[in-house]
Amino acid sequence: MGKFIISKRTNGDFQFNLKAGNGQVILTSQGYSTKPSCENGIGTVKTNSQEDAKFERNTANDGRCYFNLKAGNGQIIGTSQMYESDNGMENGIESVKNNAPHAHIEDETII
């Protein structure tokens, strides 16, 4: 089962990573100024990850593939790693679809 990891960036912003059951990061969020905003972003991923149309497929300048997951308002809520092929990217999208809805949250900002 996947999990969301909340962490803090060096600039103080909060972010989350969605990790697959094997521990690989499959989606990384933008920076959020508050933890509640970050937690809301996780909820948005859980909801929007079930709609294929919310995944924007892209090709970087170096030819590698990646995807963005967008909210209903069109804002990017998460970006994938880079993939060497379209097939790898599609597998990444399927992994987000499968892992996000039931992923638990681990907060690494609590000491």
How buried is residue 87: exposed, middle or buried, by Cβ count under 10 Å (0-12/13-18/19+)? Answer: exposed
The fold adopted by the segment(s) 3-107 is PH-domain like (2.30.29)
Question: Residues 11-38, buried b or exposed e (16+ Cβ, 10 A)?
Answer: eebbbbbbbbeeeeebbebbebeeeeeb
Give pLDDT tens digits for 24-61: 999 999 999 999 999 999 999 999 999 999 999 999 99
Per-domain residue ranges of the chain: 3-107
Answer yes or no: is pLDDT of 111 > 70: no
